[in-house]
Amino acid sequence: MTDESKPPTPPPPAGDAAPPAEKPAVDAAKPAAEAPKPAAEGVKPPVASPKPATAPAPPKPAAPAAPPKPKGPTVNDASGDPVVQRLLAALPGAVTAAKELVGQVTVEVPPEKAPEVLRYLKEEEGFSYLVDLTAVDWKARSPRFDVVYWLHSFTKGEARIRVKAAVADGAECPTVSGVFLTANWMEREVWDLFGIPFSGHPDLRRILTWDGFAGHPLRKDFPIEGVDTGAAIYPDQYPEGGGPSGKDSNKKVLS
């Protein structure tokens, strides 16, 4: 029977409550999220502003250029120095060269002129103190050695002057012990360590090693490993040449 042929439902009797209207069925599964509401007509949805691009890191500054290397001291001509001028006038031909380095004057003299040059500097210029007397071994140079004298003046504002004499290997250098008494021991040391003899020396003997010692320790050709010095401790058991000989007056006495 179709719905149209069904008799109409009679109205409920008076006083009875009308039956509740049927609720529409509810789907068991609800959507996980409500669909977004459509934007109102004519209204554009907001647009998210784009994030500004990250600016690239600035380049690292270049390392500063290395400062120029400082210039080293230079050797200058000192022939115009007042002391050198007076020395040249007093002893013509006694000075072969005069140089200045960091305020220090050096005069170069022939070996035979060294005593009179030192005497003039001591007595006339006030360089009364012989600070040192030593030598330098250049080995491959000719003449091989430089004998060097350092003089100090207490009356010229603590001034100093250096005198240098070039001496060939095996050649003699005249002593200046008659000008400065302390040169006696200094020249003995140079003879002992470098083998440079000083003519006219009153007592030219070794002073740090012993008579009979083989060689001169500060020469460039002296063996780096040294020499056998056992004879210094046991002179009666070692042959001559390695230690004090039986005739050496300095065998048991240091001077």
Give all domains of the chain, ordered by start, each with its CATH number: 76-204 (3.30.460.80), 209-246 (no CATH)
pLDDT of residue 62: 87
Q: What is the pTM of this model?
A: 0.66
pLDDT of residue 252: 45
Residues pairing with 99 in the sheet: 77, 106
In angstroms, the CA 106 to CA 149 distance is 10
Alpha-carbon dihedral 90, 95, 97, 103, rounded to 10 degrees: -60
Residue 184: its H or E element:
helix 183-194
pLDDT of residue 158: 84
For the chain, the straight-line distance linking the first and the last C-alpha, in angstroms and rounded, comes to 157
173 near 190, Cβ under 8 Å? no
Q: Which residues of the chain have pLDDT under 70?
A: 1-45, 228-255
pLDDT of residue 244: 47
Please provide the DSSP assignment of 21-62 as one string. PPPPP--SSPPSSPPPPPPPTT-PPP-PPPPPPPPPPPPPPP
| CA 189 distance to own-chain centroid | 31
